[in-house]
């Protein structure tokens, strides 16, 4: 399990703003790749009618369950691979903060902390699958909110969501200093041309997508 970072905070802020506008109240929420459960908890605080959280990591499932109970939230917490545990259910709001850091290998590690951020050579191992699968878990008026790094090609996410039949758009951006993972990996990413020679910040982006 990986503690909440700037990407979680950025999506948390977007979610809170939507809650203040009454856009979360009464909605069914799916938090996929829930980690600590922070995003789902914020959605429930904003008035969500129900919360389902999914993660592949046993520790994250436990953390999501414990944190939801500590906040008095009757969340359903499931362990599994992306949307598989809830098929064929659909939701009004789907939250996603997947791993997106480019890695040396093509497959995520199975039993190490790096599984929380490694996402294949281009950082899109999970992002591509979310783009393809999101329409199947969204109600007709449902919304996907996804956060990723610019290192994982936001334009590819927008294009793939469009190809999947959704209408995507960018809601928020933020530039943040490299965290420990990117600082350690920066020389290798620069050698691959994924980082500029003097780049010490990454851009985070929150993308919204909905049915046409």
CA geometry: angle at 53 spanning 48 and 58, to 5°? 155
What pLDDT is stored for residue 185 in this prediction?
83
Residue 4 clears pLDDT 70, i.e. is over it: no
46-51 contacts: CB < 8 A, separation 24 or more?
46/15, 46/16, 46/18, 46/19, 46/20, 47/19, 47/22, 48/24, 48/93, 49/25, 50/76, 51/75, 51/76
Q: Give residue 1's pLDDT band: very low, low, confident or very high (50, 70, 90).
A: very low
Q: Which of 65-69, 97-101, 135-139, 206-210 has the lowest mean pLDDT?
A: 97-101
- Domain ranges for the chain: 6-211
Q: Which two tokens stand for residue 34?
A: 């829930």
What pLDDT is stored for residue 50 in this prediction?
97
What pLDDT is stored for residue 71 in this prediction?
95
Q: Classify 6-211 by CATH class.
A: alpha beta
| Residue burial 12-31, b: 16+ Cβ < 10 Å; e: rest | bebbeebbeeebbeebbbbb
Contact 148/127 with Cβ under 8 angstroms?
yes
The more confident residue out of 6 and 106 is 6
Bridge partners for 30 per DSSP = 52, 94
Please state, rounded to an integer, the average pLDDT across all residues of the chain. 90
Residues 6+ apart with CB under 8 A from 207: 144, 145, 146, 147, 148, 154, 157, 158, 161, 168, 169, 170, 171
Alpha carbons 170 and 41: distance in angstroms, whole number:
23
Owner of token pair 């904003």? 46
What pLDDT is stored for residue 179 in this prediction?
82
């Amino acid at each position: 399990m990986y503690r909440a970072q700037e990407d979680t905070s950025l999506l948390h802020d977007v979610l809170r703003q939507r809650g203040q506008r009454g856009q979360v109240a009464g909605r069914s929420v799916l938090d996929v790749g829930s980690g600590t459960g922070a995003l789902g908890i914020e959605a429930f605080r904003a008035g969500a009618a129900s919360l389902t959280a999914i993660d592949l990591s046993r520790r994250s499932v436990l953390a999501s369950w414990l944190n939801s109970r500590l906040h008095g939230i009757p969340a359903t917490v499931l362990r599994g691979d992306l949307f598989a545990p809830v098929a064929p259910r659909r939701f009004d709001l789907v939250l996603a903060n997947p791993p997106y850091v480019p890695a040396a290998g093509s497959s995520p590690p199975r039993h190490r902390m790096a599984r929380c951020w490694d996402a294949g050579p281009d950082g899109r191992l999970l992002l591509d699958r979310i783009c393809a699968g999101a329409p199947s878990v969204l109600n007709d008026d449902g919304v996907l909110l996804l956060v990723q790094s610019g290192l994982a090609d936001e334009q590819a996410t927008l294009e793939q969501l469009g190809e999947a039949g959704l209408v995507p758009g960018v809601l928020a951006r933020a530039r943040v200093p490299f965290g420990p993972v990117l600082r350690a990996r920066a020389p290798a990413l620069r050698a691959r041309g994924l980082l500029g020679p003097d780049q010490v910040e990454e851009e985070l982006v929150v993308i919204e997508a909905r049915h046409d």
